[in-house]
Amino acid sequence: MIKVEWFYWLCGLIFIAVGVLTFPDRTNAKRYGSGTFWVLLGASFIYGTYVVNKTAPAAVLGVAVIAMAGLVAAGQLGRGTAAGPSRTEQEAGADRFGNRLFIPALTIPVVVVIVAVGLKIHIGDRPLLEKDSETLIGLGVAAIVAVIVGFLMLRPKSALTPLNEGRRLLEAIGWAAVLPQMLATLGQLFVAAGVGKQVGRLIKDVLPDGASSCTAWAWRCSRSSWATRSPRSRS
């Protein structure tokens, strides 16, 4: 069975690789803090597997999470100034490859659909893909297929090019890359501390009986405030 945890590990390994590449990056004034941030994040993705399985103490991960926020608060997360692709470089690429450049990008949604919808099959009596994680697994498989397609098509000079380019984007996103996850964490903390109950009680007192549908809507609104999806795209 293909498990979504495999892809969390891959994600964690990418973060760790980004961190390892950051330590020697002299163009980044905060290279030690930044490297520590990405390595911690990567390690937390792998350690998270054991937290979910309840085979490792969650508090250790809690410390790591607060440490990451601490690095950001202390202004220790910076980025390198290594140049992105220049205008001429991009124009040359567009001249050479034209609309074929869209192929790797469009591979992603196509493979997501194929995997999430088409591969929802059972082998013997076991499902091929972990239940309820089909689309996430689809995304992971799609990312791998797309990078292979892109690599074969574009033939970059170094095998490390995808990783370096991914690092450039990740550095540009910075702390915002973990903000959605942190918001989701806050949501769970609110539940543990009983914030939802308080909101419910507050509204129940304010609204007349029989207005429970309004309560549901109000709850929905209170959820949406921290269910903000993703960091804004930056470039």
For residues 10-49, which are near another protein according to CB under 8 A?
10-11, 14-15, 44-45, 47-49
Q: Are the C-beta atoms of 167 and 161 separated by less than 8 Å?
A: no
Q: Does 3 bind another protein (CB under 8 A)?
A: no
Q: Cα separation of 190 and 192, whole Å?
A: 5
Q: Which residues 170-199 are close enough to bind another protein by CB under 8 A?
A: 170, 173, 175-190, 192-199
Between the CA of residue 38 and those of 71, 117, 140, what are the distances in Å? 11, 33, 20
Q: Cα separation of 148 and 117, whole Å?
A: 22
Instruction: Report, in Å, the least distance between residue 198 CB and another protein.
Output: 5
The count of residues in the chain is 235
Q: What are phi and psi of 2, to 5 degrees?
A: -80, 125
Indicate which single residue of 1, 169, 206, 221 sits in contact with another protein (rule: CB under 8 A). Answer: 169
Q: Does 212 bind another protein (CB under 8 A)?
A: yes
Instruction: Report, in Å, the least distance between residue 24 CB and another protein.
Output: 20
Q: Which residues 93-112 are close enough to bind another protein by CB under 8 A?
A: 93-99, 101-102, 104-105, 108-109, 112
Interacting stretch for another protein, rule CB under 8 A, among 25-33, 79-87, 121-129? Answer: 79-87
Q: Cα separation of 16 and 175, whole Å?
A: 15
